[in-house]
Structure 1
Amino acid sequence: MKKIIEKIEESDAILIGASNGFSICEGLHLFGGDQAFQELFPDFIEKYGFSNILEASIFKFPKEEEKWTYLSRLIWHYSGTYHGSSVMDSLKSIIMDKPYFIVTSNGEGHFSLAGLENEQIYEIEGNWLSMQCAHRCHDTLYPSMDVIKKMAQVQQTGKITSEMIPKCPFCGREMQIHVATDHNFIPDSDGQKRFQSFVNKYHGKNLVVLELGIGCRNQMIKAPLMNLVNQEPNATYVTVNKGEIYIPEVIKHKSFGVDGDMTEILTLLKGKMTSM
């Protein structure tokens, strides 16, 4: 841990990769039918037998009203009422005043909601805070939270009606949350450019790549970050995950793998950095 702290403090910038493991530490488990899921969606579980958030999110609901009932309840609970978390607070303290960039496959928008700069975040699979034309008649993104909030509030006393379903302002057909669920997803090309610009800016510099909760199957983030560390002579790779640490032999000499509870590990890093 001392060596990791030294690398972070000596770094010129920090590149953060985050995936499902980080969300789990914040109480959002896409793949697990935990108590929170059961308490939030008892009606959908009874009707469709859903076992987790992801299964319900990719389900083709027979009616748009049902789809938006599910989505608005989900998004308002996890994003609309989000006020930070201990693991997020620790990460922000670890970053300190360092230049940083975040690449994430998490779609709940917590990094921006926690006050981190939008321009320093690349959400490769979109996020719940935006919506797009479901048929991609054009590539403009629209804020979703006003619609989500109204729908979530209506559910407290009644049902979502067809008049509340958001429609595309161009073609008049349905909208969808801006996440990568089908071929109509609008990729964040600007985010990708900002990411590449950050990498170019700190080429050859002391760069710490901090990977948080990314499993081996998530090659969209994990493989590019490990390749970057291999190519950058002064880069350090730090991977934090519970029960699944993978470091290729080619970058082993400049890598650290920390297996355990991420909340505890980042809290420990934060405490030791502030005490040094």
Structure 2
Amino acid sequence: MRSSYKKRLERAKRALEGAEYVLLGGGAGLSAAAGITYSGKRFTEHFEPFINKYGFTDLYTSSFYPFKTEEENWAYWAKHISVNRFEIGATSLYEDLFQLVKEKEYFVISTNVESQFVKAGFPEDKVFEIQGDYSYLQCEKGCHDTLYYNESLVKEMIEHTRDCRIPTELVPKCPVCGGKMDVNLRKNGYFVQDENWYEADRRYTQFLSKSDKGRIVYAELGVGFNTPGIIRYPFERMTYNNDNAALIRFNLEHPEGAPENKFKTIAFTEDMREIVRDLME
């Protein structure tokens, strides 16, 4: 195993050293590897009252819980947002990724919503968080395209949470239609794409066009099959269409890829933190 790892590591190093461009694609597995886990000790320590009251088992499934009241719903979501977005700084894995690519011409597309890339030093104009950001609220029905930064409101909600409920007066209402508010996450057809979202999309498209036939490494970081059409499948397609491309896949459970890209793909199932550190040496 170590012999195989060393060979793959050397191939990945050569690909990165020779690359004109690097496109990072961040998925849920990347944040999990960085320590932003949705189950286990981190979950039980922060959400004990909600676990006791609702029987929650992890942060992913609990985010779909049908709360009976808005007061309960926002007590949970305030804590969820705070723990994953505001209470955690830049993690070492994301910081190492920045050090790995900062001298290259690079771009980031991520389905993660904790803003870890930006916290780790990646400039905002090189990051496309295509699925949203925990730190913003939107009209639940998307009646208008303005997003609302929620840090101060989230802190106030947590401060006044009692028995897994917030006071009614803290329940957010849409300032336009008067309806309910929601977290700006792509979970239904009402997801709001504001002006900043479209600008990030334009920059991503420009990067793809510029790097189309260049020497490029597509680094797929912990991307699963919840939304394969955003990163995994496009990265495979772009690798296939570019003779100068290499695909480096970091994936514990699904390292396999398109057979057509067999000789262009370098797959890792080892600890992502270890791999990135080794790539930096």
Q: Same fold (TM over 0.5)?
A: yes
1:213-228 equivalences under 5 Å are 213-220=222-229, 221-228=231-238
Does the 8 Å contact 1:80/1:149 carry over to 2?
no
- CA distance, structure 2, for counterparts of residue 175 and residue 217 of structure 1: 25
| 1:261 and 2:271 aligned | yes
Residues 1:236 and 2:246 are matched in the alignment: yes
Please state how far the C-alpha of 1:242 moved relative to its aligned partner: 1.8
In structure 2, C-alpha distance between the alignment counterparts of 1:168 and 1:115, rounded to whole Å: 33
Deviation at 1:156, TM superposition (A): 8.8
CA distance in 1, matches of 2:53, 2:252: 34
Whole-angstrom CA distance in 1 between matches of 2:42 and 2:68 = 25
Count of matched residue positions in the alignment of Structure 1 and Structure 2: 269
Q: Does the C-alpha gap of structure 1 residues 28 and 8 become closer, same or farther in structure 2, counting only changes over 3 Å? A: same
**Contact 2:222-2:251 within 8 A present in 1 as well:** yes
TM-score under structure 2 length normalisation: 0.89
One-letter amino acid of the counterpart of residue 183, structure 1: G
SS in 2 for 1:21: helix
Equivalent residue for 1:127? 133
Quote the Cα distance in structure 2 between the aligned partners of 1:156 and 1:9: 54
Q: Report the more deviating stretch, 238-247 or 9-18.
A: 238-247
Residue 9 of structure 2 corresponds to residue 14 of structure 1 = no
Q: Check conservation: 1:178, 1:185, Cα contact below 8 A.
A: yes
1:197 aligns with 2:193: no
Contact persistence 2:49–2:163 (CA under 8 A): no
Where do 1:1-276 residues align within 5 Å?
1-30=9-38, 33-155=39-161, 160-187=166-193, 188-220=197-229, 221-270=231-280, 272=281
User: What is the CA–CA distance in structure 2 between the aligned matches of 1:254 and 1:218, rounded to whole Å?
Assistant: 23
For 2:207 and 2:240, locate their aligned partners in 1 and report how far apart those are by CA, in whole Å: 17
User: Which secondary structure state, in structure 2, belongs to the residue aligned with residue 58 of structure 1?
Assistant: coil
- In 1, Cα distance between equivalents of 2:104 and 2:157: 39
SS in 1 for 2:192: coil
- Return the alpha-carbon distance in structure 1 between the equivalents of residues 182 and 24 of structure 2: 28
- Alignment partner, residue 6 of structure 2: none
Alpha-carbon offset, residue 216 of structure 1: 4.4
Kindly provide the amino acid, as one letter, of the partner of residue 67 in structure 1: N
TM-score, structure 1 length as denominator?
A: 0.90
1:253 match: secondary structure: coil
Amino-acid identity (%)? 28
CA distance in 1, matches of 2:59, 2:203: 30
Structure 1 residue 186, shift from structure 2 partner = 1.9
Stretches of structure 1 that go unaligned for 5 or more consecutive residues are none
Alignment RMSD (CA, Å):
2.0
